[in-house]
Amino acid sequence: MKAARLILVSMLPVIMAACGEGNKQPAEKIITVDVKASYPEKEVVLQDFADVEYVPLETNDEFITQGDVKAIGKKYILVKNWSNDGNIFVFDRKTGKGIRKINRKGQGAEEYTFINAIVLDEDNDEIFVNCAPMKKIFVYDLAGNFKRSFEHLKDAEYLEVFNYDNNHLICYDISGYYKDGELRSKPYHAIISKQDGSLTRNIPIPFEKIKAPTVQEGEGMAVTSVNPIVPYHDNWLLVETSSDTVYNYISKENKLSPFLVKTPSKDPVIFLTMGTLTDRFYFMTTIKKVFNFKTGRGFPFTDLMYDKQENAIFNANVWNGDYVKKERVNMTARPLNGEIATLQVLAANQLVEAHKNDGLKGKLKEIAATLDEESNPVIMLVKYKK
């Protein structure tokens, strides 16, 4: 059987490519989302419910990056380029100053060919580079020195990898994406050892048949992005597109608890993926399993927001209060860790233009005044409000 030609599709512009703080937990109330319903719109200002921090990344001849942020810790920010050049930039978390550039791309035993995910483990002074095409995870110290590597579990292909604790990673296996419509054969969420990649624990989410976020036509396959693992303070929300239930995984108890249920759907199937969760708002996105291979467009989506205070669901419009005019914030980007709910990359040329037109306020205005159009981007960190 010939391998399918893979087309990766993001939920914002459609792109085609070849192939804890505290002990807070999500509310116990199980939310029901009718994915076919039309919900009223609601506008909110980001700074009203979240703390915002801006980190301008230093720009010099060695540190020029497109700003694909892969990991953030208390000391460091790890960034790569969107192109597959193998560069990993290490920036200071507080100042944005460039510290070093690491590149271990190659064909050797200590080298990766592609970067799908990077896990930063500051406690152990290690970074984990997940290379899905090689089905392998490479471990380096923060100076870029090779320490060890290990294979993905047999028949697994990890796309998402997060720091679980000092000794483990939590991963999502996308091998089921190639088995759309087949009966479930194994769990796809797992906790593995940081030392050798051995299985510590499977987290089996119940479902019967695989419903992959893919559309296949001949030898072509289009795939849309879904957040299968969402860190939220000390716990994790686990999303499985084959299930109509989103589960809260309570780490300390090794327990799955239903968190959200979506109504069943077909013709087309409508998926639901989780984004940022705050003390008041839960952001999510519905995605229709539709793709047109002739136009390269598909997977239409709708951003939703559950308001705990009003116990109601809305079409979400979130605006950044540091802009004079309304500037939308993407609340469904990949969540990072228990401190940072989400982030957004602000292009320098757009900030410079907004500053010229007196379109910025506060700290963002001060930062934009120091930039030029060729500067590295500014990273906007959205943090749980204290």
Residue 28: what pLDDT?
59
* Distance set, CA 260 to CA 157, 193, 195, 203, 309 (Å): 27, 29, 34, 17, 16
pLDDT digits (tens, 9 = 90+) for 8-55: 444 433 333 333 334 444 445 789 999 999 999 999 999 999 999 999
Give pTM, 2 decimals: 0.90
pLDDT digits (tens, 9 = 90+) for 152-179: 999 999 999 999 999 999 999 999 999 9
> How large is the average pLDDT for residues 167-194?
96
pLDDT over threshold 50, residue 211? yes
**Confidence band (pLDDT; 50, 70, 90) for 339?**
confident
Contacts 24+ apart (CB under 8 A), 74-79: 74/122, 75/122, 76/120, 76/122, 76/142, 77/379, 78/118, 78/120, 78/127
Cα separation, 240 vs 272, whole angstroms = 9
pLDDT digits (tens, 9 = 90+) for 79-120: 999 999 999 999 999 999 999 999 999 999 999 999 999 999
Residue 344: what pLDDT?
94
User: Exposure pattern of 257-296 as b/e (b: 16+ CB <10 Å)?
Assistant: eebbebeebeeebbbbbbbbbbebbbbbbbbbbebebeee
> How large is the average pLDDT for residues 316-322?
95
Q: Are 53 and 381 in contact (CB under 8 A)?
A: yes
Give the chain's domains with CATH numbers.
Answer: 5-19+21-384 (2.120.10)
Residue 331: what pLDDT?
92
Cα separation, 215 vs 291, whole angstroms = 6
